[in-house]
Amino acid sequence: MRYGATVRLSPERALEKAKDFFGRLGLAVEEESSEHLLFRNEAGYVQLRMLMEHGTELELETRGFDQQVKQFLQRIG
């Protein structure tokens, strides 16, 4: 499933928040760049992409972590 949101955080802060939140769920960072994170474990994955055309826009794709992605977006929204 795919999700998206525009947040008031800086791109750097949004990545920090994502690493903290999904890391606590036992998801390991598999790929990382200044605009992309991929977390994965045996239950599924969360992929975060960042666009910075109109503020900090997040696009998240997940398999197995829909509820957690929704919770993350509510927390940082």
- Residue-wise pLDDT for 10-64, tens only, equals 999 999 999 999 999 999 999 999 999 999 999 999 999 998 887 899 999 999 9
Q: Is this model's pTM higher than 0.85 or not?
A: yes
Using CA atoms, how far residue 49 sits from 28, 45, in Å, is 16, 13
What is the structure's pLDDT at 6? 94
Of the pLDDT bands very low, low, confident and very high (cuts 50, 70, 90), residue 1 is very high
What is the structure's pLDDT at 22? 97
Surface-to-core class of residue 75, CB atoms within 10 Å of its CB (0-12 exposed, 13-18 middle, 19+ buried): exposed
